[in-house]
Chains A and B, each alone.
Chain A
Amino acid sequence: MILAVLFANAEGNILIERFHGVPAEERLHWRSFLVKLGADNLKGVKNEELLVACHKSVYIVYTILGDVSIYVVGKDAYDELALSEVIFTITSAVKDVCGKPPTERRFLDKYGRICLCLDEIVWKGYLENTEKDRIKRLIRLKPPTEF
């Protein structure tokens, strides 16, 4: 289960968050935990270099892309490696939408489309589409395989 996907800017403000199966009262804790994690560790990290953390049996993989840091939290089948797949899909979709590692401005300009991409990538706590082109087709309301 992918418990959370979270995007934050350099100041630690959350831009997008998607929780699944996380009780409302725990979300605040997750938010601050993740943002703190990023603030502590993401300085000087290269774009898309993956960092890892865990809390109990929950795994966290996070990275930075342009001005935006991306956090993915999962458990069970979504261990650190599966989350790496998820985050890789997300970063490539974001890069695709924004054209390059986004500035915060650019990210916000493309906000709606990024949300749609995320909708195609993570569906009810499971990873769904991973291919860039397929995602691109789906957010334009085209079938996954063109005929």
Chain B
Amino acid sequence: MADSSGTTLMDLITADPTPATSSSSSSTSAPPPSATSSTSLSSTLGKPATEKKSKRATLMQIQNDTISAAKAAVRTNIMPQKQKKKPVSYSQLARSIHELAATSDQRSSQRQLVQHVFPKLAVYNSVDPSLAPSLLMLNQQCEDKSVLRYVYYYLARILSDTGSQGLSSGGGIPTPNWDALADIDAVGGVTRADVVPRIIEQLSAEATNADVEFHARRLQSLKALTYAPSTNSDILSRLYEIVFGILEKVGDPSQKKKKGILGGKGGDKESIIRSNLQYASLSALRRLPLDPGNPAFLHYAVLGISSADPVAVRNALEIVSEIAARDPYAVAMALGKQVQPGGALQDVLHLHDVLARVSLARLCCTISRAKALDERPDIRSQFNSVLYQLLLDPSERVCFEAILCVLGKYDSAERTEERASGWYRLTREILKLPDASSKESSKDKSQKIKRPQPLIKLVMRRLESSFRSFSRPVLHAAARVVQEMGKSRAAAFALGIQDVDEGAHVNTFADASDLNDSDESTHPESIRRTSSVSNGTAGRDTIAGMLASLMEVVRTTVACECVYVRAMVIKALIWMQGPFDSFDELESIIASELSDPAWSAGLLNDVLLTLHARFKASPDMAVTLLEIARIFATKVPGKVDADVLQLLWKTCLVGAGPDGKHKALEAVTIVLDLPPPQPGSMLGLTSVDRVSASDPKSALALQRLVQAAVWFLGENANYAASEYAWESATPPGTALMMLDADKMVAAASSRNPTLAGALTRLQRCAFSGSWEALTTMAIRSGEPFRLQIYEFLHTLAQGGLQSQLSDVHLSNGEDQGASGTGLGVLLSPMIKVLDEMYSAQDDLIKEVRNHDNAKKEWTDDELKKLYETHERLLDLVSLFCYVPRTKYLPLGPISAKLIDIYRTRHNISASTGLSDPAVATGISDLIYESSKTPAAAEPDALDDDLVNAWAANLGDDGLWGNNAPAMNRVNEFLAGAGTDAPEVDEENIISRPSVSYDDMWAKTLLETTELEEDDAKSLGSSSPDSTGSVETSISSHFGGMSYPSLFSSRPNSYGADKASRGSGPSIYEGISSPIREEPPPYSSPGMYRNESFENPLAGTGSRSFESQDDERISSGNPQFGSALYDFTAGGDDELSLTAGEEVEIEYEVDGWFYVKKKRPGRDGKMAGLVPVLYVNQP
């Protein structure tokens, strides 16, 4: 039966208690006489009869009744007048419309339509095109205004429906793909393609109907027309024609209405009609695609600014400001005198429409900054003056927009120069109201601000008062404005604008200009630049003083209850933080904030990204920012995105300069000393129990973070420490002699404390898989580091030797019992490569000695052998990490000469390019080498080149920008992108405020089977002590060689890493996994469909998706049905049906059934989606 879509919202609405039933609905669930079995089922629940419960009972009754009633009544009774049970299914509604349309002249039909049919139809998100003929008929014949209003509404929805699987822009209950259904639809096979031209035809005729009686309908049809698909150029040009046609008639300035009658009271009929039409056509024009080549747009939009209708003015201004962004010169010319005192733009200042004034601000900003108007400073300053006046606007929205415009933020493109001059403007310029301001404005307000005011003072005062607001949006916006201010300020400092002297006394400008007031009052240019007078007085009236007092207020705002406001405040503080200010206060604010569990991971990462952006603006701040990032890593390791954090480390490491490198690396290594899990228990497998006991999720995340840090250290420690084997002067033999471990450690730390520190940290967390990182370091470092690591790995693999060695690696004080770890297998390849290198070095030294003793020259064969060993070792080493092949000497520095001799003799080029096994095996992308080969070939410049390369990459993102996931996030963030849907944490899905009935039901039924399984699953996913996740985390050590490194980036394997995690026992990665994309069932699956009135439309059910799947499958009794009509699959996941075919219904989704057939159909498919309406359920 067609009403099987089980739509809760429709149920709720059709539960509408008519007078007859309303009395019972509010008290108990006592079923009315006609109650069916399902009603009694709900009353056996024995729960207190809440309103909801009784509603359910009523609903069920009505729904059940409706099925039978609809069968009996609707079909026969054309006017179901006193029918208590309203139609609930879409097809019944549709049928009613067809029937009622035919009798639309009758009052009762009209009432039925307005009160029952149309409101219920609104629940669906799209409208069947086959309704169009009836709607059009109603449109022509019915005279009832309420009916007609609905008709326009639905016609617009048909026009706007893109037909994509029942998901239109409208929202509501998803409905089937009407066009796909239409081919075989019993209603008559009408598709959108059939009806859209007819609708447009009729609406266009109405839109051009000049009859005064028809006036209101004309406006509505114009509106409905804007929903027509704008991709169709025929329709579009037709719409332009209609709109411009109307505007031509009404926009004639000679007949323009006078000002001051905005409400329309007392206006004559003709002019009101004109302004209404102007409103409707400008609103329509605003929704149509802007055609910059068409001068009519600008012309009519400029006329519209003088319209009597405030909404028309807003739309006109929006159009004009959009055009101004492309062609400021034309707009400025077209606006002409409008901007001058008494002009239309000045009137907008007092228009009671916030968004109109916002558009005005943008318009003024665009024109006053336009390069095209460099020749016309007068025009620019006029617009500038209007912009500055908007700083006094009573609405925060407008004032803040004006501030942002002044600050140089008015589009998404961030230009440092623009920002810097924005800061200059804000701190230097002065607002002086034009003397000839319009009369309305010269009330009390303008009295107060008659005296010219420095912008900065105005802005600060305004912001401070906004921060005292109780409204959270205002606080949020104010913090955002401060953040933008910080950006502009940072830009000004970055460009080194000499004039930025924040100690200057701002009143000096004002006073100076005050004195000249009389002289300049005749001057059209009311805003003047004044040179800064720096007297260095610190105090309330210096910029620094004002900033300090503002920041005081900003800081107090962290007391706001709303975490989003606090996040914005912290971002503002980060931006306002100067590179040389003390950041103790900020640090303590952030630290105390982070202990608040209300912070979501997304929000925290946003702040991390802000740190990134801040670093980009002021590389000087690298160390400060790293310190802040460190707080994140230590306080909320479970919430931060390790990739973003790593990227921040890296960019800061590169940006920190030679002096900051050590500090930068410290910030990273600190992660390995994280406090939450105590030393000794934190990193080993044994620790997991303890951490997971408190919070399994964050323990897992912590491990990931630690791995990230380990990998980062391995990859970048050598860079940070500027320690490279190929630049090491120490011959290997020297180190070999220092076999005493303590001496070795001492030598190491005196030689390079940075690297030694990193090494110690890495050794300490050997159980986190740091051996790979250590191997990388061993390969890249000279002695004694390599030997130190070699011995450590050896100990780890073999065990039993630690007493002979230093206890560095055991600093946690526990006997790790290396022999029992079973790590030998994992470590042996790494030890082997070092073994080979050392033995080859030994051999070489022997050979050299032999040759020296015998005073023999090296023969070609000997050289060849040596060279082959060299190449073989290089290949071997390249398997582990990237090394510059041209310079790397696995055989030690003494081999350099000999290999060089052989190369020259045999004319072998140093760079081997593609034969590099690292390329062949795909372990490394070798981005560095492939794009920077010249640099790598230049022996002495490597280090600098690395830095330069990276510094450059930070600027243009060329190397990284497109493939590193974290980098994408950073770039997106910097670009201000953000339409992606937010991810909802896993726990969200469980957090439904109340335990609903079907939850309980599901529990009792499924408790013993699926729920346990689910629990086990989710445990496996989130708690690392289950074997499954240990496996995943170990495997990710190996899959996890994906972290960014200065040497090589392997961003592509990041995905693989993720995938491998996802393919573990969990779908832990959450909502972003494809499984989550599947829309939730809008009605409950299978057998408890009737009971689940609670079933949310939102689909944010209390159950996780996996468990839903399980329920579907496990709900046991499959439902069978038969195809009512033929259905042709419209997509890959759909299934074609032949009428009468038997199917097994698996579950329902969005008005679709997932069904299985007994045998494959013509297309060979056995299972897929079919529209609910097409299947008959017994």
Distance A77 CA – B475 CA, assembled complex (angstroms): 17
Indicate if the CB atoms of A55 and B353 lie closer than 8 Å.
no
A75 and B979 in contact, given A28-B1077, A31-B1100, A116-B149 (Cβ under 8 angstroms): yes
A83 adjacent to chain B (CB < 8 Å): yes
Indicate if the CB atoms of A24 and B164 lie closer than 8 Å.
yes
| Stretch in B647-655, B888-896, B980-988 with 4+ CB within 8 Å of A | B980-988
Distance A58 CA – B978 CA, assembled complex (angstroms): 6
Count A/B pairs, Cβ under 8 Å.
244
B991 adjacent to chain A (CB < 8 Å): yes
B1169 adjacent to chain A (CB < 8 Å): no
A14 adjacent to chain B (CB < 8 Å): yes
Interface of A is mostly: mixed
List chain A residues, Cβ under 8 A from B400.
Answer: 81
Indicate if the CB atoms of A10 and B473 lie closer than 8 Å.
no
Given A13-B1097, A126-B287, 19 other A-B contacts at CB below 8 A? A12-B1096, A12-B1098, A13-B9, A19-B170, A31-B1099, A32-B989, A36-B984, A39-B991, A54-B476, A56-B606, A56-B979, A82-B358, A105-B51, A111-B123, A116-B153, A119-B153, A123-B287, A128-B311, A130-B353
Q: How many residues of B contact A (CB 8 A)?
A: 104
Indicate if the CB atoms of A16 and B171 lie closer than 8 Å.
yes
Distance A80 CA – B472 CA, assembled complex (angstroms): 9
List chain A residues, Cβ under 8 A from B1076.
Answer: 28
A95 adjacent to chain B (CB < 8 Å): no
Distance A81 CA – B400 CA, assembled complex (angstroms): 9
List chain B residues, Cβ under 8 A from A30.
Answer: 981-982
Indicate if the CB atoms of A50 and B471 lie closer than 8 Å.
yes
A22 and B979 in contact, given A11-B1096, A15-B9, A143-B276 (Cβ under 8 angstroms): yes
Indicate if the CB atoms of A35 and B983 lie closer than 8 Å.
no
Indicate if the CB atoms of A52 and B978 lie closer than 8 Å.
no
Residue of B nearest to A57 (CB): B978
A129 adjacent to chain B (CB < 8 Å): yes
Question: What would be 7 A-B contacts, judged by CB atoms less than 8 Å apart?
Answer: A26-B981, A36-B988, A56-B976, A57-B977, A115-B122, A130-B311, A143-B216
A98 adjacent to chain B (CB < 8 Å): no
Give, as a whole number of angstroms, the nearest-CB distance from A112 to chain B: 3
A127 adjacent to chain B (CB < 8 Å): yes
Query: Which of the residues B396, B982, B993 comes within 8 Å of A81, measured between beta carbons?
Result: B396
A146 and B264 in contact, given A12-B1100, A109-B16 (Cβ under 8 angstroms): yes
Distance A56 CA – B12 CA, assembled complex (angstroms): 35
B462 adjacent to chain A (CB < 8 Å): no
Indicate if the CB atoms of A50 and B473 lie closer than 8 Å.
yes
Chain B 470-495, CB within 8 Å of chain A: the 1/0 string?
01111111001000000000000000
B1079 adjacent to chain A (CB < 8 Å): yes
Query: Which 8 pairs across A and B sit closest by C-beta, in order of nearness?
Result: A56-B978, A112-B119, A29-B981, A17-B171, A26-B981, A57-B978, A145-B264, A81-B397
Distance A126 CA – B994 CA, assembled complex (angstroms): 35
List chain B residues, Cβ under 8 A from A82.
Answer: 354-355, 358, 397
B309 adjacent to chain A (CB < 8 Å): yes
A141 and B148 in contact, given A108-B13, A116-B153 (Cβ under 8 angstroms): yes
Distance A29 CA – B223 CA, assembled complex (angstroms): 30
Indicate if the CB atoms of B16 and A108 lie closer than 8 Å.
yes
A127 and B355 in contact, given A30-B981, A140-B149 (Cβ under 8 angstroms): yes
| Stretch in B267-275, B685-693, B788-796 with 4+ CB within 8 Å of A | B267-275
Indicate if the CB atoms of A77 and B562 lie closer than 8 Å.
no
Chain B 383-411, CB within 8 Å of chain A: the 1/0 string?
00000000000011100100000000000
Indicate if the CB atoms of A29 and B978 lie closer than 8 Å.
no
List chain A residues, Cβ under 8 A from B311.
Answer: 128-130, 134, 144
List chain B residues, Cβ under 8 A from A112.
Answer: 114, 118-120, 122, 150
Indicate if the CB atoms of A143 and B215 lie closer than 8 Å.
yes
A54 and B568 in contact, given A29-B1071, A130-B353, A147-B273 (Cβ under 8 angstroms): yes
B91 adjacent to chain A (CB < 8 Å): no
- Chain B stretch 1-38: residues in CB contact (< 8 A) with chain A: 8-9, 12-13, 15-16
List chain A residues, Cβ under 8 A from B880.
Answer: none
List chain A residues, Cβ under 8 A from B219.
Answer: 143-144
Distance A79 CA – B398 CA, assembled complex (angstroms): 11
B146 adjacent to chain A (CB < 8 Å): yes
Distance A26 CA – B146 CA, assembled complex (angstroms): 35
List chain A residues, Cβ under 8 A from B275.
Answer: 145
Indicate if the CB atoms of B1100 and A32 lie closer than 8 Å.
yes
Indicate if the CB atoms of B979 and A11 lie closer than 8 Å.
no
A99 adjacent to chain B (CB < 8 Å): no
List chain B residues, Cβ under 8 A from A40.
Answer: 991
B858 adjacent to chain A (CB < 8 Å): no
Indicate if the CB atoms of B216 and A142 lie closer than 8 Å.
yes
Indicate if the CB atoms of A29 and B984 lie closer than 8 Å.
yes
Indicate if the CB atoms of A140 and B145 lie closer than 8 Å.
yes
Distance A13 CA – B993 CA, assembled complex (angstroms): 11
Distance A127 CA – B275 CA, assembled complex (angstroms): 19
Indicate if the CB atoms of B165 and A81 lie closer than 8 Å.
no
Indicate if the CB atoms of B993 and A12 lie closer than 8 Å.
yes
Query: Which of the residues A13, A14, A124 comes within 8 Å of B227, measured between beta carbons?
Result: A124
List chain A residues, Cβ under 8 A from B452.
Answer: none
A90 adjacent to chain B (CB < 8 Å): no
B172 adjacent to chain A (CB < 8 Å): yes
Give, as a whole number of angstroms, the nearest-CB distance from B818 to chain A: 47
- Chain B stretch 966-1007: residues in CB contact (< 8 A) with chain A: 972-973, 976-984, 988-989, 991-994, 996
Distance A82 CA – B973 CA, assembled complex (angstroms): 22
A32 and B150 in contact, given A111-B123, A128-B283 (Cβ under 8 angstroms): no
Give, as a whole number of angstroms, the nearest-CB distance from B227 to chain A: 7
A91 adjacent to chain B (CB < 8 Å): no
Counting chain B CB atoms within 10 Å of each CB, which of A12, A30, A104 scores highest?
Answer: A12
A141 and B169 in contact, given A28-B1080, A80-B476, A85-B397 (Cβ under 8 angstroms): no
Distance A147 CA – B123 CA, assembled complex (angstroms): 34
- Chain B stretch 256-311: residues in CB contact (< 8 A) with chain A: 263-264, 267, 269, 272-273, 275-276, 279, 283, 286-287, 308-309, 311
- Chain A stretch 74-121: residues in CB contact (< 8 A) with chain B: 75, 77, 79-85, 104-105, 108-109, 111-113, 115-116, 119
Indicate if the CB atoms of B216 and A52 lie closer than 8 Å.
no
Query: Which of the residues B226, B472, B973 comes within 8 Å of A56, measured between beta carbons?
Result: B973
Query: Which of the residues B217, B267, B318, B992 comes within 8 Å of A39, measured between beta carbons?
Result: B992
Distance A51 CA – B318 CA, assembled complex (angstroms): 27
List chain A residues, Cβ under 8 A from B146.
Answer: 140-141
Distance A144 CA – B309 CA, assembled complex (angstroms): 9
List chain A residues, Cβ under 8 A from B996.
Answer: 11
B636 adjacent to chain A (CB < 8 Å): no
B1120 adjacent to chain A (CB < 8 Å): no
List chain A residues, Cβ under 8 A from B199.
Answer: none
List chain B residues, Cβ under 8 A from A109.
Answer: 16
B641 adjacent to chain A (CB < 8 Å): no
Query: Which of the residues B164, B358, B471, B978 comes within 8 Å of A55, measured between beta carbons?
Result: B978
B886 adjacent to chain A (CB < 8 Å): no
Residue of A nearest to B172 (CB): A17
Residue of A nearest to B321 (CB): A77
A83 and B220 in contact, given A33-B982, A39-B991, A143-B276 (Cβ under 8 angstroms): no
Residue of A nearest to B217 (CB): A141
List chain A residues, Cβ under 8 A from B983.
Answer: 29, 33
Give, as a whole number of angstroms, the nearest-CB distance from B100 to chain A: 15
Give, as a whole number of angstroms, the nearest-CB distance from A31 to chain B: 5
Give, as a whole number of angstroms, the nearest-CB distance from B229 to chain A: 12
- Chain A stretch 24-67: residues in CB contact (< 8 A) with chain B: 24-33, 35-36, 39-41, 50-58, 61
Give, as a whole number of angstroms, the nearest-CB distance from A137 to chain B: 9
List chain A residues, Cβ under 8 A from B568.
Answer: 54
Distance A39 CA – B953 CA, assembled complex (angstroms): 43
A20 and B169 in contact, given A27-B981, A81-B477, A129-B311 (Cβ under 8 angstroms): yes
Indicate if the CB atoms of B992 and A26 lie closer than 8 Å.
no
B167 adjacent to chain A (CB < 8 Å): yes
Distance A12 CA – B994 CA, assembled complex (angstroms): 10
Give, as a whole number of angstroms, the nearest-CB distance from B1104 to chain A: 12
